[in-house]
Amino acid sequence: MFHLLDKYEDDEKLKRILSIFYSRVSNEVSIKHFFMDLSLEKMLNDMDRFNQFILDRPDKVYTDSPIQTADSSTQVGFASFKEVCHHLVEVLKEENIQEEDIPKLVTDIMEIIEESKAESSDRISTVYQVDNINYDHLIEIFSHAKIKAELDEENILNIHVGGSQTPIYLKLNKKHQNILFFGKVSLKNNDHSALDKIVSMANKAYAFFPVSALEEDGDLYLYAEHKFSIQGGLPTRLLNRIAKQFTTFFEAAVRCDKDRILGV
């Protein structure tokens, strides 16, 4: 998510933004309770660990006000949350973040902070450490979110989100400590130009979620992927959110198949 900050060529910029933001909110009597159970150190650490678990989303998501995703017991009133977000916007402006980047950064930063707040209030840890992650645990994590997951003979997890006709897949790589989400739908024929047309249409309509043409063992597929490291742990809430969002976005790309040549 923080690829937006790469163009500013300042490795300390995000840490500075977050530190100033945390200080201002903590010193504001009416909203300081927002960070009551969340230290600056944990917030900074979680921002570094969890930012890769936030997928890019449609522009319309960033035109609306960020929402609270933490458990209701840790949420604050709507007016307070809006004021907290306003402080973040002001800090971003002061740090010369370009206007078009601010809505996305606010939304994504606040989502990670909400995860940190929720985690701080959890009685049982909801972040799996890398040594404890296996396919059985992943299936259990998904089941709690009413997501069906089954391991196939190729040691790939097939994931079916309720209401979706298109499965997505997950590979766990313990050696390299990462997880790969991918969507893969075969073409009914070997018409490269027809697949390229679908890819072009999808990437134009949903630029935030790139898809590509994949050729494998002589077959053609519409393909998309998202890989992230689990070296710093695996947050279960964000994992379930990614599964649902990835499914939604990949299905949108599949719907660009107007001639119904994909094997869905």
Cα angle 242, 246, 248 (rounded to 5 degrees) comes to 120
Range of the domain at 144: 128-254
What does the pLDDT read at residue 64?
A: 72
Q: CA-CA distance, 119 to 115, in Å (whole number)?
A: 6
What does the pLDDT read at residue 215?
A: 94
What sign has the CA pseudo-torsion 70, 2, 176, 218?
A: positive
Residues 71 and 165 in one domain: no
Residues 135 and 235 in one domain: yes
- Residue at a domain's end among 121, 139, 165: 121
- DSSP lists the bridge partners of residue 158 as 150, 169
Q: What are phi and psi of 215, to 5 degrees?
A: -110, 125
What does the pLDDT read at residue 61?
A: 86
Q: What is the CATH number of the domain that holds 182?
A: 3.30.1460.70
Instruction: Report if residue 259 sits inside a domain.
Output: no
User: How many domains is the chain built from?
Assistant: 2
Residues 64 and 169 in one domain: no
Q: What is the CATH number of the domain that holds 55?
A: 1.10.490
Q: CA-CA distance, 88 to 92, in Å (whole number)?
A: 6
Residues 22 and 132 in one domain: no
Interstrand relation of 168-173 and 178-186 (parallel, antiparallel or unpaired): antiparallel
pTM: 0.90
Average pLDDT per consecutive 10 residues, the chain (264 residues; last block may be shorter): 73 91 95 91 92 90 77 79 94 93 93 89 82 94 94 95 92 95 92 94 96 93 95 92 96 94 83
What does the pLDDT read at residue 12?
A: 87
DSSP H helical ranges for the chain = 13-26, 40-50, 59-63, 78-94, 102-121, 135-144, 192-205, 236-254
What does the pLDDT read at residue 172?
A: 96
- Residue at a domain's end among 121, 156, 184: 121
Residues 142 and 247 in one domain: yes
Instruction: Report if residue 10 sits inside a domain.
Output: yes
CB atoms within 10 A of CB 44: 16
Instruction: Report if residue 72 sits inside a domain.
Output: yes
Q: CA-CA distance, 186 to 165, in Å (whole number)?
A: 14
What does the pLDDT read at residue 1?
A: 59
What does the pLDDT read at residue 75?
A: 78
Q: How far is CA 40 from CA 30, 88, 147, in A?
A: 19, 14, 34
